[in-house]
């Protein structure tokens, strides 16, 4: 299934897998599950695409045909149309003077982001007027477009340019990647998180993220979760358990009954999230909900991550936010983990109970897995996933609302040991392991995503007014 098929199936309510801070008190009417894109249920990303060009400008050529140049850019974007199915270019105009922005101002203020494509000299006043709107703005400027690059460097350092980023390149794929931070911001604003816990921790966190990003985080009452679990047809749970068992490389410790209960809970998660139109589920599985729900949530979380939603361990709300950001930037799920360090090799082994099998994205092949118990508790059922050696990864966490901490590295091995948690990756750090340890703060957990995503994080943090901190240098 490619990205187009994934989106079309989601919009049609197809079964993809088998074939704030308020308290939720009543079930909403069940609705057909749908995803605009991985991690987003409600609406497309709103991008204003503006072509900035002055007729008969001296540079790059006074004979330039602006309409033809605009069409050339449209043609360059055409090969990437499947990657932009979740994007609504709701404003799409050629602008040559600041006054031409005035009729568009109210609409532009509704944009998740503005993609401004620089065509000619003489457009700096348009850029300056555009930045007064205060929307995240990416300026794409190919060589020979004009000398504005010289002024944009200073403008970027100014207060007016604090939500501006520039791409000076002939790599037209950057027109697509430039939209990624807009998508992440959109996903955060539309995200609905269900937290099965006695209380939020930190208590003020949901209100803080609601104010900064618009994300809604709501507590789920235990009795609501248990009633949803009881409503799941045992035949459906058995079919899900059979699928997990059949596709596993091995079933080591868990009994058939344990796998069945885990899969029934997984289906209950999906049903509850569909009822609430939620995008992420998290459970205080090692704390206030331990042994109060019928099974460990690990298979359920892996299932949500693999299908384009989100399941995050231990009611870790900063990890929830990082999951949403990574999924918005890449369309891929992530691996919540904590490290153990080896200074002698400048490496860290990142470990946790569960991995998700589709770290490359919900429309990509699954990684191998075994069904194991939870190592520390010697009970439950958890997918121990074998991730890909040689893969570049980015590991990050929000640090309060004003910063994001990260490091990068490469997976060098998949430890098989009866120590620590079940899913593990050994990562050679880009930097210094001892320095990473010395600078570690903002909780024990981090969130790992495939790919070197530093440029995406830089752009996201600029637009979100967050400082990006490399922990390993």
Question: pLDDT digits over 408-445, tens only?
Answer: 999 999 998 888 788 899 999 999 999 999 999 999 99
The residue ranges of every structural domain in the chain are: 45-180, 191-470
pLDDT at site 376: 80
Which among 390, 313, 324 has a CA at the least distance from the CA of 351?
313
Sheet holding 216-219, edge to edge: 216-219, 192-196, 280-283, 310-312
The predicted structure's pLDDT at residue 417: 82
Q: What value does the mean pLDDT of the chain take?
A: 92
Pairing of strands 113-118, 87-95: unpaired
Buried/exposed 319-346: b ≥16 CB within 10 Å, e otherwise: bbbbbbbbbbbbbbbbbbbbbebeeeeb
Q: Is the pLDDT of residue 5 over 60?
A: no
pLDDT at residue number 150: 92
Distance, CA of 13 to CA of 6 (rounded, Å): 11
Q: What is the DSSP letter of 430?
A: S
293-348 pLDDT per residue, tens: 999 999 999 999 999 999 999 999 999 999 999 999 999 999 999 999 999 999 99
Rounded Cα–Cα distance for residues 154 and 166 (Å): 12
pLDDT band with cut points at 50, 70 and 90 for residue 379? confident
191-470 CATH fold: L-fucose Isomerase; Chain A, domain 3 (3.20.14)
- Convert the pLDDT of each residue in 175-225 to its tens digit: 999 999 999 999 999 999 999 998 999 999 999 999 999 999 999 999 999
CATH superfamily for domain 45-180: Response regulator (3.40.50.2300)
Quick one: how far is CA 115 from the chain centroid?
Answer: 20
pTM of the model: 0.93
- Given a cut of 60, is residue 26 above it in pLDDT? no
411 SS3 class? strand
Q: What is the pLDDT of residue 17?
A: 37
Rounded CA separation 105/36 (Å): 27
Count of Cβ atoms closer than 10 Å to residue 458 Cβ = 15
Task: Give me 63's structure tokens.
Answer: 């004979």
Q: Is the model's pLDDT at 375 over the cut of 80?
A: no
Closest CA to 448 of 388, 400, 403: 388
271 close to 182: Cβ distance less than 8 angstroms: no
Judge whether residue 29 has pLDDT over 80: no
Average pLDDT, integer, range 108-113: 98
Enclosing H/E stretch for 312 = strand 310-312
Q: State yes or no: pLDDT of 10 exceeds 60.
A: no
């Amino acid at each position: 299934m490619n990205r187009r098929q994934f989106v079309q199936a989601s919009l049609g309510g197809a079964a993809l897998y088998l074939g704030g801070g308020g308290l939720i008190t009543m079930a909403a009417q069940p609705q057909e599950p749908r995803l605009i894109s991985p991690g987003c249920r409600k609406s497309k990303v709103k991008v204003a695409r503006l072509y900035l060009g002055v007729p008969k400008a001296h540079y790059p050529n006074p004979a330039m045909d602006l309409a033809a140049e605009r069409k050339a850019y449209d043609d360059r974007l055409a090969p990437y149309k499947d990657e932009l199915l979740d994007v609504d270019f709701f404003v799409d105009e050629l602008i040559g003077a600041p006054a031409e922005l005035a009729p568009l101002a109210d609409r532009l203020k509704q944009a998740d982001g503005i993609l401004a494509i620089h065509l000619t000299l003489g457009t700096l006043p348009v850029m300056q007027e555009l930045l007064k709107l205060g929307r995240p703005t990416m300026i794409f400027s190919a060589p020979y477009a004009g000398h504005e690059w010289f002024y944009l460097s200073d403008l970027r350092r100014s207060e007016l340019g604090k939500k501006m980023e520039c791409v000076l390149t002939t790599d037209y794929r950057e027109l697509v990647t430039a939209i990624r931070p807009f998508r992440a911001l959109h996903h955060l604003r539309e995200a609905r998180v269900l937290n099965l816990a006695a209380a939020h921790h930190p208590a003020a966190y949901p209100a803080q993220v609601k104010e900064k990003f618009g994300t809604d985080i709501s507590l789920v009452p235990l009795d609501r979760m248990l009633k949803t679990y009881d409503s799941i047809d045992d035949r459906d749970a058995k079919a899900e358990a059979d699928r997990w068992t059949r596709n596993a490389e091995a079933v080591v410790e868990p009994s058939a009954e344990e796998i069945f209960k885990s899969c029934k809970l997984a289906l209950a998660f999906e049903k509850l999230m569909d009822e609430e139109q939620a995008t992420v589920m998290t459970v205080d599985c090692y704390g206030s909900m331990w042994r109060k729900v019928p099974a460990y949530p690990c298979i359920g979380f892996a299932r949500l991550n693999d299908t384009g939603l989100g399941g995050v361990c231990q009611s870790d709300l900063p990890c929830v936010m990082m999951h949403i950001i990574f999924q918005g930037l890449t369309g891929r799920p992530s691996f919540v983990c904590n490290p153990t360090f080896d200074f002698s090799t400048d490496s860290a082994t990142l470990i946790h109970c569960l991995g998700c099998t589709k770290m490359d994205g919900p429309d990509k092949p699954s990684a191998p897995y075994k069904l194991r118990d939870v190592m520390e508790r010697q009970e439950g059922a958890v997918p121990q996933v074998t991730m890909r050696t040689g893969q570049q990864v980015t590991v990050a966490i929000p640090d309060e609302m004003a910063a994001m901490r990260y490091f990068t590295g490469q997976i060098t091995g998949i430890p098989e040991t009866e120590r620590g948690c079940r899913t593990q990756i050994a990562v050679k750090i880009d930097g210094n392991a001892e320095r990473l340890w010395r600078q570690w703060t903002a909780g024990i957990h981090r969130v790992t995503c495939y790919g070197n995503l530093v440029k995406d994080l830089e752009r996201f943090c600029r637009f979100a007014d967050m400082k990006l901190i490399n922990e390993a240098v």
